[in-house]
Amino acid sequence: MAMNLVTILLVEDFSKESGQPAEDVLLDFMQSRTAVNLYNDSLKLWWDGPSVVGERYKKELATKHDSEAK
């Protein structure tokens, strides 16, 4: 499935960027709103590819970190 491929590529990229183990990145990603939307086939988010999905996930993480800092 295209969703799985996008997830794999996204996790690999985030793991390399952050230095975190891919397993940890995958667990965090799969609990995100971005992952829920990615796996909602009616939204066709996977059509945008891993870089666009990754940017959405980065924005989600930034928002999460901002709200936790307050």
For residue 55, pLDDT over 70 is answered with yes
Residue 40 φ then ψ, to 5°: -90, 95
For residue 62, pLDDT over 80 is answered with yes
Where do the structural domains in the chain lie, given as residue ranges? 2-69
pLDDT for 36-47, tens place per residue? 999 999 999 999
38 vs 67: CA distance, rounded Å: 23
In this prediction, residue 59 carries a pLDDT of 96
Lookup result for tokens 């996204």: 10
31 vs 10: CA distance, rounded Å: 14
61 vs 58: CA distance, rounded Å: 5
For residue 70, pLDDT over 70 is answered with no
32 vs 48: CA distance, rounded Å: 18
